[in-house]
Amino acid sequence: MGIVEEAHNVKVLGSGTRYIVLAHGFGTDQSVWKHLVPHLLDDFRVVLYDNMGAGTTNPDYFDFDRYSTLQGYAFDLLAILEELRVHSCIFLGHSVSAMIGTVASISRPDLFAKIIMLSASPRYLNDMEYFGGFEQEDLDQLFDAMAANYKAWCSGFAPMAVGGDMESVAVQEFSRTLFNMRPDIALSVLQTIFQSDMREILNLVTVPCHIIQSKKDLAVPIVVAEYLHQNVGGDSVVEVMSTEGHLPQLSSPDIVIPVLLKHIRLNIVTKQ
């Protein structure tokens, strides 16, 4: 195993000839895909990895400067694909990883057959004619709460993000992976995500994009999915599911897994 693979806990599973890469969002790790992976093993070589900063990675490897933009994570993704000698893959990115995949695809479109975006947003802050869902004041309060008492913040944030009560398995699972992050790293990562603005690069994305969104999501309003659909440079399709919450692959796998499998197997013919 190479250095990059070891640092990101890379696993390659399955017996297929095609590659599919599963990338997790903030506060989780590769275990967030546990309901989907078994459905892919016969048809794909499934690549799982942890973004630097996840609780499963070595915090000593987290470079605050490198990961102050999404570009640092995109470089990591490209390094993983290079080390594994992956020449083409389907990339499924949840939340911030959907944007990480788009950044990577701009410099190396040849590596990506398509990008499937789950709960993705190019910008979380509201702007003049753009509704991202948050005002700067909202985010500042969130960051202050994280800095003041990370454990308490996690306990409040997890059920809101998942869209369930503390008794649900999905909330407990998200709470576990959130708690595993080192508090200062978690704050830095979330600041990078929530303060990012990827709108200007969307037109540079040329690979097909499948945009999948919950009807109700604390972090991503439905209009953001349509914004992505209208502004990515290549062919795209959007599907809004009946699910609630920002981590539907954990909270509603019975609905989400069939939708994901459909988009993994079907290709876009033309942009509507």
| Among the four given CATH numbers 3.30.70.1290, 3.40.50.1820, 3.40.50.300, 3.40.50.970, the one describing domain 3-265 | 3.40.50.1820
- 42-52 residue pLDDT tens: 999 999 999 99
Q: Is pLDDT of 6 > 80?
A: yes
Q: Which residues lie below 8 Å from residue 265, measured CB to CB, with a gap of 6+?
A: none
Report pTM: 0.96
Q: What is the pLDDT of residues 157-182, one digit of tens each?
A: 999 999 866 678 999 999 999 999 99
- Return the pLDDT at 87: 96
pLDDT tens-digit series, residues 63-109 = 999 999 999 999 999 999 999 999 999 999 999 999 999 999 999 99
Under 8 Å CB-to-CB from 222, ≥6 apart: which residues? 213, 215, 240
What gap in Å lies between CA 186 and CA 9, rounded to an integer? 18
Whether residue 223 has pLDDT greater than 50: yes
Point out the residues that are catalytic: 95, 217, 246
Q: What is the domain partition of the chain in residue ranges? A: 3-265
